[in-house]
Each structure stands twice: as structure tokens, then as C-alpha cells.
Structure 1
Amino acid sequence: MKIKLYLVALGALLLTGCSQPSAQAGVQSGGGGTIEAINHTKWAINHFSVDGQSGIDAIGPYQGGGGGCCYGVPSKWQPGMTVKVDWESGEASTKGFPGFADTAKYLAWVKKMSENNRQHSAVVPVPDYTGQKTCGVTVHFMPCDKVKVTTSCADYGRPGYPIKDPIKMTEPKVCPK
């Protein structure tokens, strides 16, 4: 019964996410799509959102993911346009995982792993997409808790994709401020 209720609640959440308004209320949407992400760091992205809309997926180090439904950008790009990205980064390792049999050991391991979790928030400029088809938003999580976004319909790593940073990036010992 619990699983059935969970599935119903999850389905309702996904459906309501797809009826969300465009990136800026009252502005006609220029192109809808999903909220995707590329993680260029050694940290896991435990969860993330763009302008309050969930990216749905947790993303491992040096991976892509997401899939939050129905993010639309305004039909016309404006100078100074931004999005707010919130995320939690954390430990990506399963080192020391004790299994589930001993609840006390498992909970102690979860607590230890959660000690590295960090909350982040950034207001990020949206690059000019004038004259281009838009496909939602893709967030790139970069070293030093930096973020880049694009509305491009091209896939990461393909010609025409605007963000060229390699997937595996090394975080410097000291991040610039």
C-alpha cells in the first residue's frame, strides 16, 4: 500500500512540474524542455533546482543527468537575464558502506557521509539565445562551486554546443574568490 501511495504522489509531482509557468512569470515561453545537468566535479550533486523547479535527478561525479519536466525560457532574450540555481553537493563514495543489516552501523555511516554535504546557491547569467531554438536549460556544475547554464538544443560534446569545458575538471587547491 505504501509503495502504491508513493507512486501516486510521485506521478502527481511529475505532472504538476510540467504545468509550471515559464522562467519569468507573465512572459511568453520561447521554448520548453527539461532541466538537465552536467557535473564537471568530483562531488555528487545530491539534488538541484533552477528557479525553484527541481532537476529531479541526483548526479554522480563527472556525469550528466536531470530530467525535471518542462522548463521554458522567455521567447525573447533580454540583457541581464539570469536564473537561480540551488544545489547540494556531497560525498560521492560508498567507501565503508556497512550494508543495511545493522541499522546502527548504517545510520552512523549515513551521518559520516552527510558531513561533507554543502548547500549552494548561485544567480547565473543566461547566455544570449537570440535567433536560436531553445530546449529548456542545462546546468553545468563546475569546480569551485561555479555554475554555467545554456538553453542550447545541441548535446554536450557535440558541435554547436556552447560550453566546451571537459567533463573531468580538477578543482584547484585554492579556489579564486
Structure 2
Amino acid sequence: MRFLRSNIQPRWLRMLVISMLALVFAACATVQATGQEEKSTPVSLTGVHHLGPNFTISSFYIDGAGGSNIGRGGGGGSSGCCVAIPKQWRQGLTAEVRWGVGDWTKENRAEIEASNYKSVTTEGIYKAQVPIEKYDEPGRVYVHFFPGGKVRVIVSSVGPLSKDHPIQGDDSHAADSATKGMRIETLFTEAELAESLRQRKERDKKYGDWR
């Protein structure tokens, strides 16, 4: 993921970077619907946005695991590792998704080329508890983002450019079954970041610092 280098970044971009750095320790999050123990398997994570050429997904998280930013071309962002999903899908399987949408409609190219992203603003930061759509076998987790703060989470062994992918780019009804997120001020509150840091220290104390 490329971090912005300017010292005069918009406040929302700085907060996104701070959140990403604070949660990078979460190497693998587990998608859960209940507290029950179940057999799971680690899979990679990819985001896809359907917002058009003037928007980006600045960053996103699924149950605390961070995905890479998704550029203005939409399509699929680079894959990240990882989340753990049940080997067998079951009713009620959900995941919490948090994401920030960058708005480039007022971009100033001269400033951006000088690494000043002040003209890039936020369309919104969202959070939603999203159903994991039915899958027959484990595969990569794809998080699809739609206009209006909507999102779907699917599991597929083929990518978004394949005709066998569950969500096709030209499907005008793909967002009909999407979950609408609620707007939040920042990806993670100070209390959530502090709790993440506490959990990290506990893991480091128990297992050692992997770094």
C-alpha cells in the first residue's frame, strides 16, 4: 500500500494512515457470526469497487484485517493476507466491514504531482455488518463496494474479471442486495485503537514479537 508523502495531507487521510498503522499487527482476522468454535481456513482478501473513475477506496477492513487501497480504475485492488473463513458456509455468517471513500472530483493535478493531496477529499467513511454470501467451498474473500455506502462480501475461487465471478461488472442490479453502511467519523475510535494495542501487547508477551 502506498502511503502519501505530503506533510499537508487532508486530516481524513492522515487519520486513515494512523488507523492502518495501528491495526497492521492483525495478521489474520477470523470472520465470525457466533462465538462457536469451528474449522476455518486462511484465505486472501481483495477489494473491488464499482464507484466510477472519480473515486477510490482509500482503505478497508473486514473484521479488523486490512485490505489494500483500490484505485480509480475500480476493478480489483491488490490482494492482502488474510482472513480466516469457515470451511463450510452456514446461515448467519457475517463480517464487519469498514471503509473510506476518496473523492477525486476536485483534484488538482499540479498539487498531486508534487505529492500534495489536499484537493482529494472524502466522500464518506462507513461501517456495516455484512452477510457473507453462500459459498460451496472456501476461496478468496472479495469485498465489493457500491455507490451510496453499500457493500457485499462474497467468497470465490475466480477473480472479478471472470464470467464465473458471482458479481459481474456490468450487472446494473448488483447493488440491489448490498448492505448499506452507516457513516462514521473515523475508521477506528481512539478507544478501539487503544484496545487493539492492548491486545497486541498481550500477544507479544505470550508469543513474542514476530517483528
SS class of match (2:71): coil
Query: Gaps (5+ residues) in structure 2?
Result: 1-22, 181-211
Residue 22, structure 1, aligned to residue 25, structure 2: no
Residue 38, structure 1, aligned to residue 38, structure 2: no
Quote the RMSD (CA, aligned, Å).
3.3
Other-structure match for 1:127: 133
Tell me the distance in 2 between the aligned counterparts of 1:142 and 1:60: 13
Tell me the distance in 2 between the aligned counterparts of 1:57 and 1:152: 20
For each residue in 1:28-84, what CA deviation from the matched residue of structure 2 results, as whole angstroms up to 9, or x when unmatched?
21x432110111112211000111110033432423104220212112222111111
Tell me the distance in 1 between the aligned counterparts of 2:131 and 2:113: 47
SS class of match (1:98): helix
Residue 145, structure 1, aligned to residue 152, structure 2: no
Tell me the distance in 2 between the aligned counterparts of 1:44 and 1:101: 17
Shift of 1:166: 2.1
Say which is worse superposed, 155-164 or 144-153, in terms of deviation.
Answer: 155-164
Shift of 1:156: 1.4
Checking the alignment, whether the CA contact within 8 Å between 2:29 and 2:64 is kept in structure 1 is no
Other-structure match for 2:69: 57
Other-structure match for 2:7: none
Residue 96, structure 1, aligned to residue 108, structure 2: yes
Checking the alignment, whether the CA contact within 8 Å between 1:83 and 1:126 is kept in structure 2 is yes
Identity %: 24
Quickly say closer, same or farther: Cα 1:100–1:123, change in 2 above 3 A: closer
Letter in 1 for 2:79: G
Residue 113, structure 1, aligned to residue 124, structure 2: no
Quickly say closer, same or farther: Cα 1:101–1:147, change in 2 above 3 A: closer
Shift of 1:86: 0.4
Checking the alignment, whether the CA contact within 8 Å between 1:85 and 1:122 is kept in structure 2 is yes
Tell me the distance in 1 between the aligned counterparts of 2:66 and 2:92: 23
Letter in 2 for 1:166: D
Checking the alignment, whether the CA contact within 8 Å between 1:57 and 1:67 is kept in structure 2 is no
Checking the alignment, whether the CA contact within 8 Å between 2:70 and 2:76 is kept in structure 1 is no
SS class of match (1:164): coil
Number of aligned residue pairs: give it.
149
Quickly say closer, same or farther: Cα 1:99–1:154, change in 2 above 3 A: same
For each residue in 1:68-116, what CA deviation from the matched residue of structure 2 results, as whole angstroms up to 9, or x when unmatched?
202121122221111111000011357323347989xx4xx61x422x3
Checking the alignment, whether the CA contact within 8 Å between 2:49 and 2:70 is kept in structure 1 is no
Tell me the distance in 2 between the aligned counterparts of 1:102 and 1:148: 36
Tell me the distance in 2 between the aligned counterparts of 1:45 and 1:137: 16
Shift of 1:165: 4.1
